[in-house]
C-alpha cells in the first residue's frame, strides 16, 4: 500500500481561500438610502396686504371756555368730568353792573326815540330843519346800538358751553375775578364721540405701495380700503371699525412720515385723548401671493432668509429669498420662490444642496388662514 503526498492538496485549498477573499474585497459597499424630507408644494393665493400703523387718539372737537366780560364768578353750575350739552350754562358772572348799563341804555333809547318821533311831525310842517331831524334820528340809532351791546354783555355773564362733550376741571372757583381776553381757560370741553386717530406712515412705504399698485403687483382693496381696525395698548382689538378721513399733503421733515387721520365711533368713551394705539389699514390685494411656512425659511450667516427646495430630479436646491413680512405663521415671499416649488419643511438638518432625497408630504405644518391673518412686521 502506497501513500500520496498531501502537499499539492493543501496548496490548492490555500489558493482557493485567497481567491475567495479577494473576490469579497472587490465587491462595492451598498449605497446609503437617500434621506427623507417633508415638503409642501407652494400655490399662489389671493392675499390682502394690511399695514399696521402707530397712532394716538385726539379729541374730535376741543373748546376752551373763556369769559367775554369782566366780573366776579358767583356760581359754578357743572360737575367736573361730566358730560355737558351745547348751550348749557357753566358759570354765572356777577350781572349787576351790566344790568344797570342796560337800563341806562334803554332810558337813553326811549328819550332819543321820543325826540325823533316829535321831529318827524315837525319836519313835515317845516317847524324844524331837516338837519335837526337827522341828528335826532342818528341819536336814536346810537341808543338802539347801545341797548343791543348792553344786552349782549348781560347775556355774556352767563358763560355757556360752546359744544357738547366732556368737561374737565375748572381753573376758577366762586369769587374769582375773570376778564375778557384772559389767556387761561376757565375749563376745557372735549367731544369724544366720535374720536380722531392720528396715524403715521413713512413716505417710503407710501411710495412703495403706489409703485406696487401702478405695476400691477398689487390691486386696490376695493371699497373697504378706507376701513380701519384698531388694536389698543393692552393688545385687545377695539370693537368699533373706523374710516380713513384724509392724509396730510406734506411730509414731516423731522420724521420723514405722513400723518393719516381716521375717525372712530366711541360711544362708551373707551378711547381717551392721548392714548397710544395701532391701526390696521387695508393697503391692497395681491392676486397671486406666495406664502411660505416659517418652518421652511432659515437664515444664512449674513442674515439673508433662505430656503431649500426639491427640484424635478429630487435634488435639493438652495434659494435666497426676499421676504416682505410675516403673515401669521407664514412669510410673504417677494422673490426666490415660485408657484409649484416643493419647499422642504421637515428634515432640514439631514440635507444640504445638491444631494438626492426621498420626498413625502410634510406633517409639521399647522393650518393657517392667510385671508384672515394680519401682517405683523417687516421682512428682509
By residue count, the chain amounts to 380
Rounded (to 5) percent helix, strand, coil in the chain? 25, 40, 35
Query: Which pLDDT score is estimated for 376?
Result: 41
In a domain, 14, yes or no: no
In a domain? residue 9: no
- Taking Cα atoms as reference points, which of 188, 186, 191 lies closest to residue 68? 186
In this structure, the answer to whether residues 73 and 119 fall within a common structural domain is no
What tens digit of pLDDT does each residue of 68-121 get? 999 999 999 999 999 999 999 999 999 999 999 999 999 999 999 988 888 877
Q: How many angstroms separate the Cα of 247 from the Cα of each of 44, 55, 205, 211, 316?
A: 33, 13, 14, 18, 48
Q: What is the CATH number of the domain that holds 224?
A: 2.40.30.170
User: Distance (Å, rounded) from C-alpha 128 to C-alpha 136?
Assistant: 11
CATH of the domain at 151: 1.10.287.470
> pLDDT at position 149, please?
95
100 three-class SS: helix
Confidence (pLDDT) at 366: 65
Q: Are residues 85 and 180 in the same domain?
A: yes
Strands, DSSP E only, in 265-304? Answer: 276-293, 298-299
What pLDDT, in 10s, does the model give residues 276-294?
Answer: 999 887 766 777 888 889 8
Residue 213's pLDDT is what? 57
The x, y and z cell numbers of residue 107, run together, are: 332810558
Global confidence as pTM = 0.65
Task: Judge if 102 and 113 occupy the same domain.
Answer: yes
Listed as ranges, residues in the chain with pLDDT below 70 are 1-30, 209-226, 283-284, 366-380
pLDDT at position 192, please? 94
d(C-alpha 44, C-alpha 156), whole Å: 69
Pairing of strands 165-167, 227-231: unpaired
Q: Alpha-carbon distance 319 to 351, whole Å?
A: 14
Q: How high is the pLDDT of residue 370?
A: 45
User: Is 140 among the domain residues?
Assistant: yes
Residue 24 lies in a domain: no
- What are the C-alpha distances in Å from 243 to residues 80, 223, 233, 318? 31, 11, 20, 44
Residue ranges making up the domain that contains 83: 67-91+163-184
d(CA 115, CA 131): 14
Q: What pLDDT does 153 receive?
A: 95
Decide: 161 and 88 in contact? Cβ < 8 Å: yes
CA distance 380 to 370: 20
Q: Are residues 253 and 319 in the same domain?
A: no
Q: Same structural domain for residues 99 and 85?
A: no
Q: Is residue 308 part of a domain?
A: yes
Q: Is 233 left (phi over 0), alpha (psi -120 to 50) or beta?
A: alpha
User: Count of domains in the chain?
Assistant: 4
Amino acid at each position: 500500500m502506497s501513500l500520496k503526498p498531501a502537499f499539492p492538496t493543501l496548496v490548492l485549498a490555500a489558493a482557493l481561500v485567497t481567491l475567495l477573499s479577494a473576490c469579497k474585497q472587490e465587491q462595492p459597499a451598498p449605497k446609503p438610502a437617500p434621506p427623507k424630507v417633508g415638503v409642501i408644494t407652494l400655490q399662489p393665493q389671493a392675499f390682502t396686504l394690511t399695514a399696521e400703523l402707530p397712532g394716538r387718539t385726539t379729541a374730535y372737537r376741543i373748546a376752551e371756555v373763556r369769559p367775554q366780560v369782566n366780573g366776579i364768578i358767583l356760581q359754578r353750575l357743572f360737575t367736573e368730568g361730566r358730560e355737558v350739552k351745547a348751550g348749557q350754562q357753566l358759570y354765572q358772572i356777577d350781572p349787576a353792573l351790566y344790568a344797570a348799563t342796560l337800563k341806562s341804555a334803554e332810558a337813553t333809547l326811549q328819550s332819543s326815540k321820543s325826540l325823533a318821533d316829535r321831529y318827524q311831525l315837525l319836519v313835515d310842517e317845516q317847524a324844524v330843519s331837516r338837519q335837526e331831524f337827522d341828528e335826532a334820528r342818528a341819536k336814536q340809532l346810537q341808543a338802539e346800538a347801545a341797548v343791543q351791546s348792553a344786552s349782549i354783555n348781560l347775556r355774556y355773564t352767563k358763560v355757556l358751553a360752546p359744544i357738547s362733550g366732556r368737561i374737565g376741571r375748572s381753573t376758577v372757583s366762586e369769587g374769582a375775578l375773570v376778564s375778557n381776553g384772559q389767556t387761561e381757560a376757565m375749563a376745557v370741553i372735549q367731544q369724544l364721540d366720535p374720536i380722531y386717530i392720528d396715524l403715521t406712515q413713512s413716505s417710503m412705504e407710501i411710495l412703495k405701495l403706489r409703485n406696487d399698485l401702478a405695476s400691477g403687483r398689487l390691486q386696490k382693496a376695493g371699497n373697504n380700503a378706507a376701513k380701519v381696525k384698531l388694536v389698543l395698548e393692552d393688545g385687545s382689538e377695539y370693537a368699533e371699525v373706523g374710516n380713513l378721513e384724509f392724509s396730510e399733503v406734506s411730509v414731516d421733515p423731522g420724521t420723514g412720515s405722513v400723518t393719516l387721520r381716521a375717525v372712530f365711533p366711541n360711544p362708551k368713551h373707551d378711547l381717551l385723548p392721548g392714548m397710544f394705539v395701532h391701526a390696521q389699514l387695508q393697503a391692497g390685494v395681491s392676486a397671486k401671493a406666495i406664502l411660505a411656512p416659517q418652518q421652511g425659511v432659515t437664515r444664512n450667516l449674513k442674515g439673508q432668509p433662505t430656503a431649500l427646495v426639491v427640484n424635478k430630479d429630487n435634488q435639493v436646491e438652495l434659494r435666497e429669498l426676499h421676504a416682505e413680512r410675516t403673515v401669521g405663521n407664514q412669510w410673504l415671499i417677494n422673490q426666490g420662490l415660485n408657484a409649484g416649488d416643493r419647499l422642504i419643511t421637515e428634515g432640514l438638518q439631514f440635507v444640504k444642496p445638491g444631494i438626492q432625497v426621498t420626498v413625502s408630504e410634510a406633517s409639521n405644518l399647522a393650518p393657517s388662514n392667510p385671508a384672515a391673518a394680519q401682517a405683523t412686521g417687516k421682512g428682509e
